[in-house]
Amino acid sequence: MNETIVAEVLILGFDGFNEYRIPLFLLLLVIYTLTCIENLLMISVIWKSPRLHSPMYFLISNLLFCEFVGTTGIDPSVMQNILWGRSVVPFVDCVIQMHVVIAILVFETFLLTLMSYDRYLAICQPLRYSALMHNRLCLYLIISFWLFSAMVVAVSFYFFMSLKFCAPVIIYYFFCECTAFSVKWCVISNTKPLYIFGWVITYLLNLPFAFIVLSYLLIIISILRIKTSARRQKAFSTCSSHLVVVTLYFGIPFATYMH
């Protein structure tokens, strides 16, 4: 009897920050603009320079594109919420934004795994690198990663849109994000299929993480076997930036979703 058709979502992540709306909006606008410009410029440099047409830079360009899509899918709505203090978003738009974030999360997980494999081959198997890692293989794998991400999003979207709610949807977060949904929403329909699917996908993503850990263990062992410190430093510099990205990615967001 309490079932209702939810048409809108109220986002209250910045409720109570009315005094700082304009400074926060301008700050995020500058950060968003610089982020988009930086990513697009780096992608254009990689694609226009023949010297950078290698698997490593091909993967980096995909990571930059992924970050651009994720930022564009979140930051404009966040800036709108800040400017208005609270935001009423159409339900379908909110669900789409949530699933864009999920698609980026799944794709980045596999992309970072492939990047760790690339660094493993470059350091541990340098003589076989060109034979085992090339642009065509990377292209096929990237397409398969996007297809898998699209499949995950499609199934999750189907389960999510079939839910029935018993109260107005209010999210105490700064954008439509799935963990905020699961905590704050009142659902009267069966959530078990969506829960099982989310559980399977989340723990399935532990396999790429285990692969990354194994790759870096082998990389570290290989670096420690190098006799000269200059060569060790050079070898470590080729994977240090990727290691930082992996640490930040799996250390905070991925751990949150696992929890």
> pTM score, two decimals?
0.84
CATH of the domain at 230: 1.20.1070.10
pLDDT digits (tens, 9 = 90+) for 66-105: 889 888 888 888 887 787 766 777 878 888 888 888 898 8
Q: How far apart are CA 89 and CA 133, in angstroms?
A: 44
Per the structure, the complete domain to which residue 132 belongs is given by 8-13+84-258
pLDDT of residue 97: 85
Indicate whether 253 pLDDT > 80. no
Residue 78 lies in a domain: no
Residue 42 lies in a domain: no
Percent of the chain scoring above 70 in pLDDT:
87
Q: How far apart are CA 83 and CA 24, in angstroms?
A: 9
pLDDT of residue 1: 46
Total of domains in the chain: 1
Residue 135 lies in a domain: yes
Distances in Å between the Cα of 204 and the Cα atoms of 17, 66, 74, 210, 244 are: 39, 21, 25, 11, 23
pLDDT digits (tens, 9 = 90+) for 190-205: 778 888 888 888 888 8
Residue 62 lies in a domain: no
Report the length, in residues, of the chain.
259
Of the pLDDT bands very low, low, confident and very high (cuts 50, 70, 90), residue 247 is confident
Residue 39 lies in a domain: no
Least confident range from 7-11, 85-89, 114-118, 140-144: namely 85-89
Residue 104 lies in a domain: yes
Residue 214 lies in a domain: yes
Residue 230 lies in a domain: yes
